[in-house]
């Protein structure tokens, strides 16, 4: 018996080396060269690496210092988040031409349920090809696609033939598709779990299917029953529009440890401003503000507070971060990294629902000011408008 999930047509679409590809597109001289995004600080980490850079062993989250040792001739570029958001918006507009059921996972990947779109556009494979063609034509970038009857299989499939790949798994062949793949491909099979499974003789997903449910539950508890199920390709989770993004944030690692509180506050202002712009770019706002501090010994503290109403205003985020700062040891201990993130997100449509109560004084004006400042910074750069205190310090 084929489950109802087998009737679905799910796409997983994943932009290829997104940040680095945008940089190569915007600067044709970088085409075919190793490009590493996130290179603003020797103590930072790689945000993205082009496929040319990956041949040197460079990957996301690698320390920049390590990347520079592996590929000293690479092009190390700072993150241009506003530009990536702009391109991402264009890409998602293409996705939404084919279905309203688009679940974003990040700026550069999403699930699409196109089951109800086939009469207009053809089957899932035809739709994936159309989307790939339109993304390339309208943005100059490539996207890899997986087509299957479930989110689990579509996501694994999209990663098997990068870049610019298209992998299709027909309904009923999920178990056969998964069997030769390493167990690390499965959601929930992290490094520690994979080590434990290898002790049981499990290297491939097909090996996992030969273990009994009882054994896996005894060994791994609830995770064991999950692994038993997904190893057989069973996944009936729906595509949930707007449910992919849980938080929006930004963090910076500094070239030298910070001890001066005025400098720390300036860095927090910069972070809050960028997070506010990012929230507005996504059309969302959040109620829970989290301050992250990493010290010179690599220990980390996080402090959070939840607001009565969601905000996308950088000035408000800065005020909340300042209120959280005394709850950390910043100033008394050298600070290696600072970060601000916002969760408990609400989308712009929800924020604009009519209310019986008038908006608080100044909210509408503040939103208009933010929109104007965003437009100026988009055109002239992030330093086009700065607080007077910043200019005085400089």
Residues annotated as catalytic are 109
Give 111's contacts (C-beta < 8 A, 6+ positions apart).
Answer: 10, 11, 12, 13, 102, 103, 105, 151, 154, 155, 239, 244
The β-bridge partners of 294 are 300, 337
241 with 96: CB under 8 angstroms? no
**What angle is formed at CA 48 by the lines to CA 252 and CA 164, rounded to 5 degrees?**
155
**CA pair distance 19, 11, nearest whole angstrom:** 22
Neighbours of 102 (CB within 10 A): 21
131 with 140: CB under 8 angstroms? no
344 with 286: CB under 8 angstroms? yes
Under DSSP, the state recorded for 79 is -
For the chain, state the CA radius of gyration: 23
**What angle is formed at CA 61 by the lines to CA 57 and CA 64, rounded to 5 degrees?**
70
Q: Strand, coil or helix: what is 233?
A: coil
The β-bridge partners of 13 are 110, 145
Segment holding 370, helix H or strand E: helix 363-380
Peptide bond into 288 cis (omega under 30): no
Of the CA atoms within 13 Å of residue 324, those in its CB half-sphere come to 25
**CA-to-CA dists, residue 326 to 316, 334, 335, angstroms:** 17, 14, 14
Closest C-alpha among 57, 15, 58 to residue 36: 58
328 with 303: CB under 8 angstroms? yes
**Helix pair 363-380, 261-282: axis angle to 10 deg:** 90
Burial of 259 (0-12, 13-18, 19+ CB in 10 A): middle
The dihedrals phi and psi of 232, each to the nearest 5 degrees, come to -95, 5
Residue with tokens 């290179």: 39
């Amino acid at each position: 018996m084929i489950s109802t999930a087998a009737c679905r047509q799910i796409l997983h679409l994943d932009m290829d080396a997104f940040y680095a590809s945008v940089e190569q597109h915007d600067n044709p001289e970088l085409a075919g060269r190793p490009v590493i995004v996130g290179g603003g600080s020797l103590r930072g980490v790689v945000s993205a690496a082009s496929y040319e850079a990956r041949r040197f062993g460079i990957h996301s989250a690698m320390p920049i210092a390590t990347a520079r040792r592996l590929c000293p001739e690479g092009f190390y570029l700072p993150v241009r988040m506003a530009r990536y958001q702009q391109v991402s918006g264009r890409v998602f507009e293409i996705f939404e031409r084919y279905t309203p059921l688009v679940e974003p996972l990040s700026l550069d990947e999403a699930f699409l349920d196109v089951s109800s779109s086939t009469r207009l556009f053809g089957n899932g494979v035809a739709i994936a090809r159309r989307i790939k063609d339109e993304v390339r034509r309208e943005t100059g970038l490539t996207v890899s696609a997986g087509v299957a009857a479930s989110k689990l299989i579509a996501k694994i499939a999209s990663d098997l033939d990068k870049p610019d790949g298209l992998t299709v798994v027909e309904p009923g062949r999920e178990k056969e598709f998964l069997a030769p793949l390493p167990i690390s491909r499965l959601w929930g099979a992290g490094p520690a779990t994979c080590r434990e499974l290898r002790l049981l003789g499990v290297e491939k997903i097909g090996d996992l299917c030969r273990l009994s449910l009882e054994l896996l539950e005894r060994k791994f508890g609830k995770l064991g029953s999950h692994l038993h199920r997904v190893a057989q390709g069973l996944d009936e989770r729906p595509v949930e529009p707007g449910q992919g993004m849980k938080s929006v944030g930004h963090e910076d690692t500094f070239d030298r440890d910070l001890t001066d509180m005025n400098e720390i506050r300036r860095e927090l202002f910069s972070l809050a401003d960028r997070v506010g712009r990012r929230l507005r770019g996504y059309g969302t706002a959040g109620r829970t503000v989290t301050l992250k501090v990493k010290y010179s010994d690599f220990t980390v503290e996080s402090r959070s507070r939840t607001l009565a109403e969601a905000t996308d205003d950088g000035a408000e985020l800065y005020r909340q971060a300042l209120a959280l700062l005394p709850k950390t040891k910043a100033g008394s201990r050298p600070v290696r990294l600072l970060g601000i993130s916002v969760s408990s997100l609400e989308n712009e449509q929800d924020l604009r629902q009519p209310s019986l109560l008038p908006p608080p004084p100044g909210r509408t004006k503040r939103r208009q000011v933010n929109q104007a400042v965003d437009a100026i910074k988009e055109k002239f750069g992030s330093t086009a408008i700065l607080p007077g205190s910043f200019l005085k310090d400089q």
